[in-house]
Structure 1
Amino acid sequence: MSGLSELERLDCTKILRQMAQTDLMALSDTVTNKLIIVESEKEAMETILSFSKSAEELLKRRKVYRDLIFKYLAKEGIIMPPTSEKHVLIKRTLELWSSKRMNEPQQQSSDNRAGQHTGTDPGFDPQILGQQFCQWFFGLLNSQNPALGQEPQNWGPNHFWPDAKLRLLARTCGEQMDEFAGADLVSLRLLALTREERLQLNPNLEANGLRAMSSPHGLVLVAVAGTIHRDTSVMGIFEQIFGLIKSPLDNNWKIKFINLKIRGQDALSDKEVSAPALTYNSTELQQLCC
């Protein structure tokens, strides 16, 4: 999976911080083909770093002016002739980063939380990320249910991108579709499922209940099925698709969108309730990944 290394993200951030806000916003639009709307300089930087295919591609962007790279090199102790052309400065910058990688100790983090997986590692496995993300997400969400008697964990909009979206389709007595936009509204609606409605969502993390895949542009899709409980009663089943994009500034995966389908027990067979499985196939998920 292509993208920037952690070292390149950190150093590119130093360059991006020198840019004017209007240039950052314009560069974000260019990198994402205007598919993602950003509202702040921080969001713009996160998006630019997440969707850039390589450090060289980013440095060659028109809005990354020659003077920005020249100043960055000077701060790093690399003094270049003032008349150096941009392609020469880019070549020297890439050489600097390559030498940093060679000298950097090879360390593996012992932190296995899904929120801190590195999607750009050559050995990155989206299925493993999917399993760990679901363990983390549903543990966090279910802890908000007062009926379980747990200490509520740190739930909030910080786990979502600012323009996150939630599509909730409920099939119980009838069919109802609701959509929510923005990290605050999405976070509050999901919270209401467990805190106010006192539901408990138990994901099926076996092979028939969980599937994950990644796109070349940094998006990871995680689809999972599971059962819904209230106290000792089984209320139905759910299927949930998460769209995850990594934030380069804090190295965490954040939720870009959620599609959640809930089916009440009245519309289900005993087999479906005892072993809920995904109905989405790989082709359908791949279309969401594009």
Structure 2
Amino acid sequence: MMISDSQKKGLRELLLNDKNLTVLLQLAKGATKNMCKTEDPEEALRLITTHIPDIYVLLSKRAIKKELLFTYLSNRRADAATDFSKADLIAKVIQYWKQEHKSSIELSGDQTSSSLHIQSEEDYPIHTIARKFGEWFFERFNADALSLVDLWADAALHLTIIASDGINEWECTTAAEVLSALTSAKQQFDFYFNPNLTHAGIQGRMDSYGHFLVICCGTLHSRDSCVGIFECAFGLFRDPLADNNWKPKKVKCFLKSEAQPPELHYLCSSETLQTALELSVPSDDLN
């Protein structure tokens, strides 16, 4: 997601102050790979927004701690409950900026009192449905509550697991086999799937046949440790016998163990979803 003018204004509030100046300069140094070592706060802000043009990626940098984001929200009396992750705080900060820094729209020609609503891409129906599906699916999956009725009877799965001992792949062609393979992999490795439910981690697409595709990624956890990343693509179809709800018919899932996994995983850095990212993104309602 590109950094908007309102988000640049928010970054100025967040980082251009005596308390967080060190963080700002550290971010600028990292963004330019130590090529630019400016001490000018304005120049540092320009550098990071130029070289890190994704607001989610920027706020997820290790230099920006959870405490910094929490303090920022608390000082502005914004919602910052103590039951949170860094991803939650990032989402809250971005939402706060969206509400507080709405850009004024000037109408050329005759000025009227009517207001214009500019819809950001992350609010497109296809992305909104994708986020709702991702939240629903992984909540049920982590709780071992996913059932056969949640899948189409002829659901298909391509599952790839890359671990230190090699690569394993499975292909399934029925709902029962899909559910069994996913559940077995989760239980065998004691995985907890932590999806990145921001726009940078889950989005919707339309394939060349007009089918709805949800692409998402996140981190894999075992007990209290982050042990890897995952990337998934779900082909969804409406089920007229289930209140016309979207259900997965095709699933591709890629799991990879890593010695030093990222704090957050993003679609822009995914290994398996780059082709899907190039598919069309309709801005209107899905029929």
| TM-score scaled by length of structure 1 | 0.48
Q: Which of these two proteins has the greater Rg computed from alpha carbons?
A: 1
Structure number with higher helix proportion: 1
| TM-score scaled by length of structure 2 | 0.49
